[in-house]
Amino acid sequence: METVYITGHKNPDSDSIISALSYAALKNALGERNYVAARLGSVSDETQLILDRFNAEPPVLINNVRNQVRDLDFDTPPMISPAATISRAAEAMQTAHISVLPVVNEDGTLFGMLSAGDVANYDMECVHNSMIQPVPIYNVISVLEGKILHRGGEIRDTISGEVNIALPSSREHLLFSDKNSIVICGDQPKMLRRAIEIGVDCAIVCQAEVAPEILESAGDTCIIATPMDAYHTVHLLGHSQPISHICKTTDMTVFHLDDYISDVENAVLESRFRAYPILDENEHVVGTLSRFHLLRPRRKRVILMDHNERAQSVPGLEEARIMEIIDHHRLADIETNNPVYVRNEPVGSTCTIVAGMYQEKGMMPTEKVAGLLAAGIVSDTVMFKSPTCTQRDKDVAARLARIADVSLDELGRAIFSATSSDDKTVEAMLGTDYKEFHIAGHSLAVSQITCMDSDRVLKRKDEFLKAMKANREKRKLDIVVLMITDVLLEGTQLLFVGDDESIRHAFNIKDDAGNCAFLPKIMSRKKQVIPTLSAMWG
């Protein structure tokens, strides 16, 4: 089954990580598809504490959902050894109705590529040049369905020479006179004796028996018998050469499973091959790609959790197929090519929505999932003190806590004690819960650190402001804001750099307050800070 990635936003918080994990568990339990929880960034200390508490692994890390070669319905033709005969390769092409075969080494790595054009060109060369280069005797036996009547030496492994068709003719004495010849004849004892007398390299007898006394005098001449007629013998004799004799082994264009389609398209436009080998991460051949495979790539499938804004989502989203959107934020700018299931509810946590979906499906979450969901709600509602928190968040969290047999108060204290460790760099703390917004022509970034001792965090105020200024210059932002939200004080210490006047005006901060001010009752970025700035600029 095709994989569907359930992914939260960039710089994921606990709600984003846990809702993705829990929703994937629900979907897989219902047996719908192969759902995989994914993340777009590192796991914060707070989230890791929650995962460790309930013995859960973090979602897989993905960097983008751009279309890759592995997303194409590429061909998986038979793969053939360079030692196999041209005849066998031609037969494989005909059976599989294909015109290109990958030629692989014994360990599965690429040796070369053989096309029907290569075989046709070789046949044309044979028309003008009847010389057969050294070819293994057993290749000839296999292709001609024949047998060796006389080997012509114990260490004889190959035959070679100019092909002469010595059928009955009034001028048959002019057909050959060189030892370096391969003579093809029928039931012609006289002709066969003459070939042996000259000492030709090989005599191939078509549809006839050879007298024992002739074989006894064969000397160094190899004698082979075949049930085929002379026409087919001549044609197939050239096809007894190993594929390595004619396949392309240099200047090949190859692709890997992880190559992006946009890059592949450019490379294909610059070349004229019929098909291209595809290699895996171990350089083993897994298939071939042709131009028509690029016309309708199979797009990756994603479900967006805890966001519906392109700037917050996974890179390459425009190449993916969005299956669902589950969120509790404002509607933003995500567009889809097809109708999708969208669930956006005015609650304090996406985990609350997911918990409700378990109930709607008639499924009781396990203790592990219930504990994770409860922790996600406690985290995103700031222990139910955020203005985004609803009575439904509280009721759902209480129910989940009973299932998981945990204390919400104790869980909250453990969560918010892990967010501001002194051994973390300010850059790491700023990036833990970081989001960028574009509002009415203004670009801003807002980080949030939720803790239970804001005074201790504020001791590093100068470090924070310096890092924020550096980030503003690097990202070319108008404003960079840091919310140090104190659960116990039920307010936020607001640090800001950039367009100071707009921030002061929006939150009624006095001009002499510097770049830091305490905002009582301000707990939510999405419901209090962003809407306030949007209203001012709108």
Residue range 457-481, pLDDT digits in tens: 999 999 999 999 999 999 999 999 9
In the structure encoding, which two tokens stand for residue 30, read together? 């219902």
Task: Please check the confidence at residue 170 and state whether its pLDDT lies above 50.
Answer: no
pLDDT tier at 500 (50, 70, 90 boundaries)? confident
Task: Please check the confidence at residue 173 and state whether its pLDDT lies above 70.
Answer: no
Query: What pLDDT, on the 0 to 100 scale, is given for residue 174?
Result: 47
389, 416, 443: which is the final residue of a domain? Answer: 416
38 strand-pairing partners: 7, 60
Q: What is the mean predicted confidence (pLDDT) over 369-387? A: 94
Residue range 312-326, pLDDT digits in tens: 999 999 999 999 999
367, 383, 416: which is the final residue of a domain? Answer: 416
Domain containing residue 505: 426-537
Which positions ≥6 away from 39 have C-beta within 8 Å? 7, 8, 12, 16, 17, 20, 58, 59, 60, 61, 62
Residues 483 and 502 in one domain: yes
Task: Please check the confidence at residue 534 and state whether its pLDDT lies above 70.
Answer: yes
Q: Is position 469 within any domain? A: yes
Report the C-alpha gap between 152 and 215 in whole angstroms. 10
Residues 405 and 305 in one domain: yes
Residues 306 and 394 in one domain: yes
Task: Please check the confidence at residue 72 and state whether its pLDDT lies above 50.
Answer: yes
Residues 490 and 404 in one domain: no
* 6-15, 87-96, 416-425, range with the lowest pLDDT: 416-425
Q: Is position 493 within any domain? A: yes
Residues 329 and 430 in one domain: no
Q: Is position 457 within any domain? A: yes
Cβ(448)–Cβ(414) below 8 Å: no
Query: What pLDDT, on the 0 to 100 scale, is given for residue 420?
Result: 58
Q: Is position 238 within any domain? A: no
Query: What pLDDT, on the 0 to 100 scale, is given for residue 125?
Result: 87
226 strand-pairing partners: 206
Which positions ≥6 away from 89 have C-beta within 8 Å? 80, 101, 114, 119, 243
Residue range 411-424, pLDDT digits in tens: 998 888 766 566 78
Residues 411 and 479 in one domain: no
* Mean model confidence pLDDT for the chain: 91
Residues 397 and 475 in one domain: no
Q: Is position 192 within any domain? A: no
Residues 353 and 432 in one domain: no
User: What CATH number is given to the structural domain containing 10?
Assistant: 3.90.1640.10
- Closest C-alpha among 437, 435, 434, 431 to residue 333: 437
Residues 411 and 447 in one domain: no
Residues 305 and 369 in one domain: yes
Q: What is the mean predicted confidence (pLDDT) over 198-215? A: 92
Q: Is position 81 within any domain? A: no
User: What CATH number is given to the structural domain containing 512?
Assistant: 3.10.310.20
Q: What does each C-alpha distance from 152 to 163, 192, 222 come to in angstroms?
A: 18, 14, 5
Q: Say how many CA atoms lie within 13 Å of 480 toward its Cβ.
A: 19
pLDDT above 70 covers a percentage of the chain that reads 97
Residues 403 and 431 in one domain: no
Q: Is position 286 within any domain? A: no
Residue range 323-372, pLDDT digits in tens: 999 999 988 888 888 899 999 999 999 999 999 999 999 999 999 999 99
- The total domain count for the chain is 2
Q: Regarding predicted confidence, which is higher, 340 or 33?
A: 340
Task: Please check the confidence at residue 443 and state whether its pLDDT lies above 80.
Answer: yes
pLDDT tier at 270 (50, 70, 90 boundaries)? confident
